[in-house]
Chains A and B, each alone.
Chain A
Amino acid sequence: MHLSRSVLVSLSMTICTWLCVPSAMADEEMGSRTGKIHRPIPLNGATLQEARRAILQGMFYNKGVKLTYEGETPNSVTARWDYRGDIVVFDVHYDEKQIQVLYKDASKGLECQELKAGICHDGTHGYYNYIPNFTKSIRNQLARIVRAK
């Protein structure tokens, strides 16, 4: 009886670790280079219209190259990043709370090796080198818009 209880405890601990560790790892990953691109940007009181404007201006004032406008739906803007033959297409989603940059497609040179729900967990060197500027640009534009209110 005593033995079976200890077995049950150790089994439950193993299951718990197995369930909890991946999410903790995901948070850790989002905290590093992945997070610089895909971590949601809180709206901080901005409206949906202002969020849309922040995304579009973020695309325009991106450091280095402007992203191009590919189309949009009521809650997302499709943006394309072109540089020296390398291409990445993003769906930038926004709602009442946040803006999030999500990977949609790319050329071979910037291919994502591990994609989960629009978040690229294993990108190329170029992806992590250039694309954080885009997310930063949106964040800066949103801050400007909120400050000017």
Chain B
Amino acid sequence: MNTSKTSGFIAHLCRAFFAIASIAAGAIASQSANAAIAGEATYNGKFVVQSFVPDVRALIVDAATRRGWKIIDDRPGELTLELKHAKSHMAVVVKSFYTKSEFWFQRVSSKTYECKRQLPCGINPEILQRWMIGLRREAGVALLRLAIQDAGGNVAPNREPIAETT
């Protein structure tokens, strides 16, 4: 009798433990669902292009050149951009894919160049990510300017770009 009571109690404890564990697991899963932007998703999210954007390619070129990127290849629907940073000896190549309704950026490669023996010279992924985010941000602000004009508003004229050099 005593043994059956004890085993019943243990079974009850186990059930309670699994119930709590499953609730906790669900809560953790729902929490992480609130923050999905990580890694490449920080810069390769697609922009939706509205009808008020007259020329998507021009918008990307303007945003890229403002951030110090150079166009190294230009094909229909695809631009290849490069950013070289003399101080850090890092270079990154990015492709921008565009249609009339959307555009996005994708990293192609990164390398170091003109490295010297005396100084450390390597790829810093955080800096590369910052450059990519900066490029995307510039394009997003260019879109915003056009959206404001479309809504009948006025914005201050675009100033000279600040180089993304850290």
The chain A residues found within 8 Å of chain B, CB to CB, are: 49, 52-53, 56-57, 59-60, 66-72, 77-78, 80, 82, 85, 87, 89, 103, 105-108, 110-113, 115, 120
Contact = CB atoms under 8 A, between A and B. Distances in A.
Contacts of A120: 34
Interface of B: 31-32, 34-38, 42, 45, 47-48, 50, 126, 129-130, 133, 136-137, 139-141, 143-145, 147-148, 151-153, 155
Given A71-B48, A72-B48, 9 more contacts: A53-B153, A56-B144, A57-B148, A69-B140, A69-B147, A70-B47, A77-B147, A106-B37, A112-B34
Given A71-B47, A107-B35, A49 B152 contact: yes
B133 A85 contact: yes
Contact of B151 (A49, A66, A105): A49
B78 to A, nearest CB: 21
Nearest to B36: A105
A113 B28 CA distance: 9
A103 B34 CA distance: 9
Given A56-B153, A66-B141, A71-B48, A106 B147 contact: no
A106 B34 contact: yes
Given A57-B153, A72-B50, A107 B38 contact: yes
B151 A52 contact: yes
A43 to B, nearest CB: 15
A114 B148 CA distance: 33
